[in-house]
Amino acid sequence: MTVDGCVFCEIAAGERPAHVVLDDEVAAAFLDTRPVFKGHVLVVPRGHVETLPDLPAEEVGPFFARVQAVARAVEAGAGAAGTFVAMNNRISQSVPHLHVHVVPRNRKDGLRGFFWPRVKYDGDAEIEDYAARIRAALDEPIQM
């Protein structure tokens, strides 16, 4: 189910442009337009749900298998030493559609606690380069 006017539903349905790195029957994942660090990906369930408690129990495992695969791909594709994986439920949730942030991390990168600085890509070529590298790292089948 999609909801009219939901930005993430529109991206998942291919109705709104985004730098998509994963698109399957369970989830869509795409680069955040206001990344904490370059390579920051949002993973959303294909069907519209607002929060984690709203996600049907039988969909939790398949959805988080995609989050896990994206976390691996962000490390490989962005050349990161690790990732920060997080979600908000209602409070601080900028779009009312469940989404998981997968943020590339490196030692001394400046991220402290829950202060999230934002960076900008140098243009369309750079953002597509990050998306392509992460997509390439996702070429392996998702394990369940």
The C-alpha angle with vertex 115 and arms to 86 and 51, in degrees rounded to 5, equals 30
Closest CA to 109 of 72, 85, 83: 83
48 included as an active-site residue: no
Please calculate the CA angle 137-27-50 and round it to the nearest 5 degrees. Answer: 135
Q: Out of 48, 97, 99, 101, which one is annotated catalytic?
A: 99
First to last CA, the chain: 24
- What residues act catalytically? 99
